[in-house]
Structure 1
Amino acid sequence: MIYMQQYTIQPIQYAVLHITKYKETGRIGTHLDRKNLTQNVAHFKSDIDPAMRELLGPHIDHTRTHLNEELSPLKNESLTKDIHSRIQSGYRGNKEIRKDAVKALGIILTGSHERMKAIEQDEKLFNDWKRANYGFACREFGSENIIRFTLHRDEKTPHIHCVVVPICKDGRLSAKSFMSGSHMLMAYQDRYANAMNRFGLNRGIAKHLTERSHIPIGQFRKETLKKKQEIMLSVTSDIPRPNLLNFKQVHQNIANQLCAYAYEAEKQKLKALETEKTYSNIIKENIRSDLDRVKREVNLIQHAASMGYQLNKAKSSRLWAVMDKDGDKILIRNGLNNNGYWTYTSLVDDKDKGTIIDFMLKRGFSYKEIRGLNSIHLDDTVIKNQSSLENDLKNLSVQEKLAKAYFCSIVYKKEDNYLTSRGIAPSTYGPYIGISLQVGRKAVFGLYQGLNNQGNGTMCSTISYQFFTDNTGKIESRKYFQKGLSRGLAVLKHPNFPVKKIVFTESPIDALSHKQLYAEKDSTMYIATCGTMSNSIIKEINNLLKEAKQHSQEVVLAFDIDQAGQRMQKLIENISKQEGIQPTKMSVTSGKDWNEQLQQNLTGQAMNFLLQLQKSIARDIRSNCSIDEYQKSRKKEIAYIDKYVGIEL
């Protein structure tokens, strides 16, 4: 006789976290503190989903209420009063709090019923579970905000009610900062499951994989009743009703049984379909997760080298790798982009760009082959070779591609932009938009090499200006050069007029301010050194002045009056004289530079407006809020680069 050993499949035990917003806290306060409660407490749970209500149960056992614990040291009075006290002590906002504001978050922390009852039976394990939950809540919401941490053991499943006043580190009362979108809620679930894993509680299947949607309890009951009525009608319509004898009761019993069987069969069918869909989504999620890992972990430079691509040292730098295999020339950034991916762009095909996934697919590899990639066995020789190169790229065509990609990604904002906040009118900077200047919350100017006397040259890099505010509220403007690219000269030249006059300034902001102050004609071209006087820049200026001499163009030097500005002015003056040019010199009459003089000419009211605009721009840039205008424009910049270049700068 053959004996078959029976195996019991144990159901997975899950960690459970549920968050609710509270605008009014009297009812939940009564439930937490067990004041004047009846045995049935189902009405206190009307704002949570059916699965959670089933887990906690509708009743309390008063014989076990003495086992409940309050673990928060901040409990003093009623819940409503403790919330008010926390807001009074922690809120630092200027505005009065709205009456309908979310004043508290309610977090229920528990797990599957069977496992939680087992944990409860082991006193040491149960105490560890309580401490782990409190530690998790403190890390996520701040111990100073937790005004209730109530353990309930007198309901069906042991659970903790954590009540949090959503006060941010900067003193704002903002539930949104703690519950901003599904990604944040999913992250809570992930981290809570990690914290509970040692207690045998696991992460549930994410909602986006099951594709389940929350149905309000009222709607759920209506739909259930309607479905039962439809089934009743369908299964009883063919049952004959005897005319000779009265078998109404028998008929009703048969109908009820058939209805119950049909309803259960319908439920099982839907459950099977749901399971099949979930399984399919899990497979897709695993594929996506594997591909995401490859994009983040596999060094694209090393991988390209393993495929036979050679590093072109003459054209590469520490930041950018130019690689070639049989004419397939690619440019790879040595590092991750803003999304955390390795990316590339082709130097021969503008459509060939993206992440390592795109790189492999374009070269004939399948998703199955790509999913298994890793960096463990890749040779690091190419990385060592690249680390010995210079910081800046030397190949001008590669620099131009990168500079123009970033320049074109800036989203133009016509009003209330960086330049208008510096007092510069749209009529002043308008002719240069999209040619050598882009402006939004920041101002970006192209830098050029190989310039001639008409302002024609090759864009080799960019310089950006934007506002920042520190913790004290002080606003300052900072400039940034595009990393990894050699520098050049900023040029402001009207596209429709030949150049008759060249004005040299220290910055392009000074150039625009000078133009507005002196109402310079459209035939005037501005050249800004951007504070850089390297040998290559001096050579560029020398060639430019030679052509200016040949075409009898007027030269004006209008530098800042500080030591650095005067040193640059003296240097260019000497070069001009060597070329036989006697330049005109202009100096600011008030302030330290031309923009400061421009702003000092404004009325007090206009100046106050500019200061408020600068604060607004700085605040938008500094804000972490995902819906502000800066973040929207930044997403557009990144999307543009991903679409047209495939690399993040």
Structure 2
Amino acid sequence: MSYAVYHVEKGAVSPGGIGKHIDREPGAEHTYQHADPERIHLNEHITVTPHCDKSLHIAISDRIKEGYNAKNKAGELKEIRKDAVKYTTHILTGSPDLMEKIENNSNLRKEWINANLEFIKKEFGEKNIVRFSIHRDEKTMHIHAVTVPLTNDGRLSARELLGNPKEMSQRQDRYADQMKSFGFQRGIKATGVKHEDAKTYYARIKQAQNSISQNDFKPEKNLLGVYKSESVEEMQNVLKSQKTALKSKDLEIAKLKEQQKKDSEFKIKIIESRQNVEKDLKYSLLSDEYREKMKEIKINEVGKKYGYDVKLKFHFISHSIQQKGDREINEMVTSAVKKVAEEKQLSPVDTALLMRSKEFKEVEKHLQNERERRNELDQRRGQNRGPRL
């Protein structure tokens, strides 16, 4: 059997990394490690709206500015909440065997892509689409779509557009209907699975299904005769759905137990580490060498814990970086550290330690290198143009 696969998630992090993955941005290969470099040229990018050609974080911001119109009782534009979901991601594909046949038939592939595009348009609004890309450089061809959850009356509401569990299930039904002409059918309902990322979800469901014997689905004969074929198929589907749910739950429980074991081991390591630190701290009162050692440990600890948050402040670097001197770059990174300190409620001591960490220096060095790289590119372009006659 070949199943239609549709998965949607609320955007919970900065769209910078997701945009790099979808757009196969050079220099960000770590975001698409499973892609075949020799097949990247086969990927397609469809410009549904002008926003689709912008960097993803800018596209999302511009679409919100364009369509957001929520007002309070006084008729003033409401301020968007900081924790508001500003985008949703969609993955559309199917069982690998049938997807391979569709991919290798250019006409069928085009029809499948158009059918998926129409589905996203109908469900979430054409104007809200800020990315629609087809990836053919991985094992199974699939589509990445990104939409901004703006309602028809200009409110930002992912909850309303995605709906409750029942409405999301109905959307899965509609997607299966859209894909029926290509040979796909609806996935199994009522599997008892809580929300998780697409890769983990389908891997676990497949494992659960493979662990169920086909003999489990053979209905017994009635004393009065044989069941009708429609009745047999219905009974098999219900039984398979329920047994898959049970197997899936067993796998979920096993997964939780494994995680609890890891958490317990990690907790033990933390306790041991604290004990060692306290022991070293006692000696640090007597020795300058130990004091410096403990200071270095604390700097590394704070840098590893919050350095990534500082880096995220520079996921987009404006062209003004080319005009910045080393001192100005240092001030930029210092300002980013202060913002992180405010968001994470760091103490003045931890803030000072973060500024002395190697992560701080790495961000500073990255900005300096980016400045030099862009200036060098501009210089080369000027040389290639040559003097005007």
Point out which structure has higher relative CO (alpha carbons under 8 A, 6+ apart).
2
TM-score of the superposition, structure 2-length normalised? 0.49
Structure with bigger strand share is: 1
TM-score of the superposition, structure 1-length normalised? 0.30
Structure with bigger helix share is: 2
